[in-house]
Amino acid sequence: MSKKETLKIIRPSGKREESFFELVYEVARQIPKGRVTSYGAIAACLGTKLSARMVGWAMNGAGKVKPKVPAHRVVNRNGMLTGRHHFSPPEKMQQLLEKEKVKVENDTVVDFERLFWDPAKELL
DNA sequence: CTCCTGACTCAGC
DNA sequence: GGCTGAGCCAGGA
């Protein structure tokens, strides 16, 4: 995917203030520091919990949008860093999490349930 | 315009 | 209790 194309997704020429992606970005930005959430939680918050994949795909543009979206705080429902390979470098995701006092072991967030941040509950 | 794929999730075997 | 398949939406070829 070229940068130009990615930019188009994030910033559809001109208008388009509310796309599925921006919704995801908005929620993701609300994640407090040191907390994590899951794709499904965000998707559910948007009303389409079955579209958790889209959340992840939307995160594809995380870091390219402004302000930056803390995609490293978004993991799958098991707390596993499934998207770390999409970071550059991949270790960046874990480093950022550990920097926020979030322990990560074997690509999985420790005490995930305790650090879990539910957008539908906290953001509501 | 049609088909494929993708950072997920749930249900079934 | 681990693996497989299907469902989901949106963008890219």
Domains, chain A: 20-123 (1.10.10.10)
Q: What is the mean pLDDT of chain A?
A: 82
Rounded to whole angstroms, the Cα distance separating A61 from A72 reads 12
Nucleotide nearest to A48 (CA to C1'): C8
Quote the pLDDT of residue A97: 94
pLDDT at A18: 57
Please report residues contacting nucleic strand C, using a CB cutoff of 7 A: A 1-2, 5-6, 8-9, 19-21, 48, 50-54, 57
Model confidence at A39: pLDDT above 70: yes
For the cut 60, the answer to whether the pLDDT of residue A30 exceeds it is: yes
| Closest nucleotide C1' to the C-alpha of A16 | C10
Asked if residues A37 and A118 have their Cβ atoms less than 8 Å apart, the reply is yes
**β-pairing, A108-109 with A74-75?**
unpaired
| C1' of C11 to CA of A5 (Å) | 10
Q: Identify the weakest region by mean pLDDT among A41-50, A77-86, A99-108, A111-120.
A: A41-50
Q: Is the pTM of this model over 0.95?
A: no
